[in-house]
A and B are shown apart, each in its own frame.
Chain A
Amino acid sequence: MRTLEDSRLTVDDLIAWLVRFDDEIVEQAGFLTELDSAIGDADHGTNMARGTAAVRVRLTETPSGDAGAVLKSVGMALVSTVGGASGSLYGTLFLEMAKSVGTASELDTAVFADAFRAGVAGVVARGRAEPGDKTMIDALQPSVEALSAAASDGVPLAESLQSAAAAAAAGRDATIPLVARKGRASYLGDRSADHLDPGATSAAILVQALADSHAERTR
C-alpha cells in the first residue's frame, strides 16, 4: 500500500537524486569521455564529474531551503564548473525547473512533470537543438513526454519516474545512427553516425538517477 508521502518529491528527495547523479557520473565518467573522444573533444565525463561534485558539495554543506532554491543552486553550480555547452545547457535545465517550482517544498508528479518540461524547453531554446540533432534533447524530450503522460494518467510517482527513465534510455540509444547537427560533433558530419551521443547518455543517467534514488528511498 502506497502512502501519500510516496507520491511527492520532497527537498530531501531532490538532494538524494543529485547525490545519486554524482555517484553515477563519477562511475561512468570514463565511459562518457570515451564516447566524447569518438565524436567530440574527449572531456564530457571529466567536465560532468567536476560539475556534479560541485553540486554535491553545495547541496550537502549548505542549508537547503525550498525546492526552487535547491534546483537554482544546482543550476548555478553546474554553470560555473562544467564549462562549455554542457554547463550552460544543464545549468539552464535546472534554472528553468527552479523557476517553475518556485517556493514549493514538495512536488507531486504533475508539478514535477511541468517543471521538467519547462527545464527541457529552456534547454531547447538555449541550444536551438531539436529532436534528431544527436544531442541531450534526444534523451530528454521523450522522457518529458513519458512523464507528462504518466502524470495525466494518474500513474503513481515511482512508476512515472521509471517510465521517464526508460524513455530517456530509448532516446539515448536512438542517437547511435544519427548524424550530429549541433555542437562540436556536427563538425564531423557523417562521421558522427554509429556513435552513442555523450550528452544524451549523461541526460539518461540524470533521469535514471532520479528513478533509482526515489525507488531506494521509498522501498
Chain B
Amino acid sequence: MIGVVVVSHSERLAEAAVELGMQMVHGDAPPVRIAAGADGRFGTDAAAVAAAIDDLADSPGVLVVTDLGSAVLSAGLALELRESTTEVVVSGGPFVEGITAALVLAATGAPLGEVAREVSAALGAKAAQLEPVPDAPVLAPAPAATAELPLSADEVLVNPEGLHARPAAMFVQAVGGYDALVDVTNLTTGTGPVTAKSLIGLLSLGAKQGHRLKLDGHGPDAATAVSELRRLLADGFGELPATAPH
C-alpha cells in the first residue's frame, strides 16, 4: 500500500480528519504519518514533513495531502529536504474529502497515480449534490474497457440512505479485490458512468433509495465482481432495518 502524509496547521485537525477517514477503511489501513503544527503552534514545518515522508520510505509511493496554502509551500520545500527517494505526489485535493478518498483507495492497494487522481477529484461529490449546479464538475471518464466481453446488470438501491459514503466505500473495497473494472451508472438520474473504484465518483452519482443502478464489468474477474456488487446492493449494504442479515 502507498503511504499517506497529512500536512496541517493543526495537530488536532489532522488527527480528527484521519480518524474520520479511517471510519471508511475496513481491514488493513495504509500507513499514515501526520506532520502538523510548527514549534507547538498553528503552522507547518517543512523539516517535519520531510521526516514524515522519509518515515514512509519503504512504501511504493507517498501521497501528501495538505490543508491551507502554506502547507503546500512546506510540502514543496520538504521534497527538497527529504533524504528518501520514494515517489511522492503533493495533492491539490481537498483536505477532509481527500484524506478519506486517499485512505479508502490506498487500502485496496491502488498505485500512487490512481490515488492521486481520486484525491484531486474529491470535491466532485460535494459539488454534485448542490442544486442548482452552475458549473457541474466533469466526471472522470470511465477507464477504457479491456478486450473481455462487457458484463452488465441492473439493480435497485434498497437501503434507505442510498449510496452514501459507507456503502460507497464497501463498493470500492469489493471491486479492489478483483482483477476487474466496473462502471456504475445511475439510470434514474442519468448520472455517470463512474468507476466503482472511485469513492468520490460513486458519491457523485447522487444515488438514493429506489434509484436504479447499472453495473458494467470488464476484465477477467468481471462476472464475480459484478455479482459481488449485486449482492451488496440487494443486501442493502447491511443497512436494511429489520431484514438485514448482516
What mask results when residues 71 to 82 of chain B are scored 1 for a CB within 8 Å of chain A, else 0? 001101100110
Q: Are B77 and A84 in contact (CB under 8 A)?
A: no
CA distance A87 to B74 in the complex (A): 8
Give the residues in chain A near B76, CB-CB below 8 Å.
Answer: 88, 126
Which of B9, B42, B46 has the most C-beta atoms of chain A within 10 angstroms of its own C-beta?
B46
- Which residues of B lie under 8 Å from residue A91 when comparing CB positions? 46, 77
CA distance A85 to B72 in the complex (A): 9
Q: Report the Cα distance A126→B9, complex, angstroms.
A: 18
A80 contacts the other chain (CB 8 A): yes
| In contact, A83 and B41 (Cβ under 8 angstroms) | yes
B73 touches A88 (CB 8 A): yes
Q: Are B69 and A184 closer than 8 Å at their CB atoms?
A: yes
Pick the contact of A80: B9, B42, B45, B80 (CB < 8 A). B45
User: How many chain A residues touch the partner (CB < 8 A)?
Assistant: 21
- The reply to whether A87 and B43 form a contact with Cβ atoms under 8 Å apart is yes
Selected from A50, A126, A127, A184, the residue in CB contact (under 8 A) with B39 is A50
Q: How far is the CB of B44 from chain A (nearest CB, A)?
A: 7
- How many angstroms from the CA of A87 to the CA of B73 in the assembled complex? 9
A81 to B40, CA, bound (A): 9
Q: Which of A79, A84, A89, A126 contacts B47 (CB 8 A)?
A: A79
Within 8 Å of chain A (Cβ to Cβ): is B70?
A: yes
Given contacts A47-B43, A50-B39, A88-B46, contact A79 B77 (CB under 8 A): yes
Q: Are B43's CB and A84's CB within 8 A?
A: yes
Distance in angstroms between the alpha carbons of A47 and B43 in the assembled complex: 10
Closest to B74 in A: A88
Partner of A81, one of B38, B42, B74: B38
Check if A65 is an interface residue, CB within 8 A of chain B.
no
B74: chain A residues at CB < 8 Å are: 79, 87-88
Shortest CB distance B10–A (Å):
11
CA of A171 to CA of B198 in the docked complex: distance in angstroms?
49
Residues of A within 8 A of B (CB): 47, 50, 76, 79-89, 91-92, 95, 126-127, 183-184
**B contacts, CB < 8 Å to A:** 9, 37-39, 41-48, 69-70, 73-74, 76-77, 80-81
| 13 A–B contacts from the bound complex (CB under 8 Å) | A47-B43, A76-B47, A79-B77, A80-B46, A80-B48, A82-B38, A83-B45, A87-B46, A88-B46, A88-B77, A91-B77, A92-B77, A183-B69
